[in-house]
Each structure stands twice: as C-alpha cells, then as structure tokens.
Amino acid sequence: MKTITLNIDGRQVQGASGQTIYEVARENDIHIPVLCYHPAAKPAGACRVCVVEVAGARSLVASCAQPITEDMVVNTKSDRVIAARRLATELLLSSGNHNCLVCEANGQCLLQELAYELGIEQPRFSVSPPGYGIEEENPMIIRDMDRCIVCGRCVRACNEVQVNRVLDFSYRGKHATVGPAFGTTYEDSECVFCGECVSVCPVGALTEKQGRFKGRNWEVKKVRTTCSYCGVGCQIELNVKDNKVVKVTSDYELGEPNHGSLCVKGRFGHDFIHHPERLTKPLIRKDGKFWEVSWEEALDYTAKRLKEIRDKNGSDSIGVFTSARCTNEDNYVLQKFTRAVIGTNNVDHCARL
C-alpha cells in the first residue's frame, strides 16, 4: 500500500493509504479520545469526541472516519478541539444517569475517563436522565438505557460483527435510544445472548448480570485462558476475585481466533465452576441413597462394575461421555481408556455436558 506522510501535533508521521487519522495517531502513541470507535466495526464518527483540526478544513473532522492524505497537517489539542470535546462530553453527561458510585463500568468507562481528562466536575447543563428503567429479566445481561450514550457501538457489533441484526436505533433527537425492534426486551427478541454488545459498550449501559456487585474492575485479576466449550480455541479473560471467577470478559486485542467475540456459553456459561450442587467428593449409591466414600473405594467399585458389565454383555454395551469442562489431557486419557482398556469406540463428547 502507498505510504503517506503527514504532520500530527508537529510530528512527522507516516501511514498507509486508507488509514484514518485516528489509526495513524494511535500507531504513533498520539492520544485521541474515542467513544463510538471500535476496531472490529466500521467507523461512524457519531460521538464527536475524537474531532481534530485539519489545516484547510472549514470545520473540525472526526479523526476515526477521516482518511489521511499526503502532507496533511493535524492538530489534536487546539483550543477549538478541546472546547468541542468538552461540549460533547458535557452533553452526554447531562443526558443520562452517570452515577459512577454504583456503576459496574466504574474504572473502565470511556466516558468517565474523558470527563476526568477534560477536568469536568459538573456539566454546565442540567442533568435529565430519560427514565427508561433497568432491564434485568434475563439471567445474563443487564440493560440500563439511562446510562446509554447512543454511540452505536452495540448496534454495529450486533449487525456487522456477529450479524445477528437484533439491535438498531429507535426514535430521534433526545428521545433516541437503541435496542431490539418495537422496544422489546432482549429475552423477547431474537437475541442469542452472545454478549458482543456487552463487550463493546464503552459505558455501563450493558453489563454482565452474573458479575454484578461481585468485584470492581481494579479488584479483579484478569486471567487469560482458552474457552473449553469447543475446539475453536476462543481467547477469554477470567475475572477472578478471592479465588472465584466472578465473570468472563473478552477483548478485541486478545487476537485470534475470535478477536473478542464469544458465544453464549463461552461468555456466560461459567456459573458451574462454583455452583453449590457441583460434586466435589466421590459418592456411591447404596440402598437407594448416595454415600460419601474415599477415592480408593469409588475407583475400585467403578473398575469392578465396568469389568462385570463388559464380561457379561460385551465391550460395546458400555459407552463413555467426556466433557468440555475437563482439560484436553483428561479427555485424551479417558478416550484412550475407553478404546484400549474397555475395548469400545462408544465414546462421545459435546459442549453441552
């Protein structure tokens, strides 16, 4: 691709043809704040906090959507630019309920970071949340449209990345909002609960219900691992507090193969880890009741019964199920045991187990 040279804040930098001002600035560690931009979706230029001043342009331009040109001169910190960002931020703060004290996005909210960066203690406009209320009927996603800044990230993620086409804009002006068609809830829509909208939301409008009030962003340790539900190998982050997984998050920067996208099981199917009904000790049924026994007794009993069944009815009378919740090594050993010891190919696996 053709290399283009331009000037940003007095620095001569280079970028490839087709890149935007924001992309080139980011590659060269030049800070430009964004709210609606996300690398997985097409640029929208909707929030206007990324505006910059370009020499020769009549008005400020959205850096996330403006392609670079040869010898372009860009100023990201002029008084005009800062005033425009401040106005846009204050309008967003005044049009919703952005009480950071109890917000799950506290500490990782882009609007909060922008307000701090611009030194906004109180917006100049009166604060008037629309009063939509909180949608929490489903067990996975909490939707608080009073915190929504109508940036459109979730809409583009749903339509362009996951291509589920569940979310879109509704109404206009100060009444504008986003959500499923006809104002239905997530539960009553065609939403498959992949959680893509949650992962890209820059504020606290969309959050994981399972992790609510279980740990702030700075209290949890994010452990990168591979989702065990299928063979794709999606990269996820286990959010751990007090040695317990409180929620699963993902990020575009985690890279291949999923670039932050997950299915409903990968993002929300982790409650089994600390479930109170999960078996933690071996049990044997005696006289119609389960009794706790030692591992030695349980293994001896299992080996004896498998041998009796195989000798009486043949190897193919036995079938074995493995599980995605085990490690690859555990599953390998079990299928090897099934084929080599029991002598049958009746071994199956499904991520639903």
Please determine, for residue 55, whether its predicted confidence score (pLDDT) is greater than 80.
yes
Query: Strand, coil or helix: what is 206?
Result: strand
Measured in Å, how far apart are the chain's first and last C-alpha atoms?
Answer: 48
The identity of residue 230, as a single letter, is: C
Could you read off the pLDDT of 90-133 as tens digits, one per residue?
999 999 999 899 899 999 999 999 999 999 999 999 998 889 98
Could you read off the pLDDT of 20-31 as tens digits, one per residue?
999 999 999 999
| Cα 99-102-124 angle, rounded to 5 deg | 10
Of residues 202, 215, 92, the one with CA closest to residue 154: 202
- Could you name the CATH architecture of 130-268? 2-Layer Sandwich (3.30)
Q: If you average pLDDT over every residue of the chain, what do you get?
A: 93
Q: Is 106 exposed, middle or buried (0-12, 13-18, 19+ CB in 10 A)?
A: middle
Contact 61, 68 (CB under 8 A): no
Structural domain boundaries in the chain? 3-77, 130-268, 283-350
Contact 107, 218 (CB under 8 A): yes
Asked which of 38-42, 251-255, 349-353 is least confident by mean pLDDT, the reply is: 349-353
The identity of residue 150, as a single letter, is: V
Q: What span, in angstroms and rounded, lies between the C-alpha atoms of 315 and 346?
A: 9
Please determine, for residue 353, whether its predicted confidence score (pLDDT) is greater than 90.
no
Compute the average pLDDT of residues 171-189. 90
Please determine, for residue 17, whether its predicted confidence score (pLDDT) is greater than 60.
yes
Of residues 58, 59, 63, the one with CA closest to residue 19: 63
Share of the chain above pLDDT 90, in %: 80
Domain 3-77 has CATH 3.40.30.10: no
pLDDT at 351: 62
* Residues paired with 289 in a beta bridge: 286
Of residues 13, 57, 17, 16, the one with CA closest to residue 32: 13
pLDDT at 352: 57
Please determine, for residue 12, whether its predicted confidence score (pLDDT) is greater than 90.
yes
Contact 298, 284 (CB under 8 A): yes
Could you read off the pLDDT of 245-264 as tens digits, one per residue?
999 999 899 989 999 999 99
Could you read off the pLDDT of 195-249 as tens digits, one per residue?
999 999 999 999 999 999 999 999 999 999 999 888 788 999 999 999 999 999 9
Of residues 279, 286, 269, the one with CA closest to residue 351: 269
Peptide bond connecting 257 to the previous residue in cis, omega within 30 degrees of 0: yes
The identity of residue 197, as a single letter, is: C
Give the count of beta carbons closer than 10 Å to the beta carbon of residue 294: 10
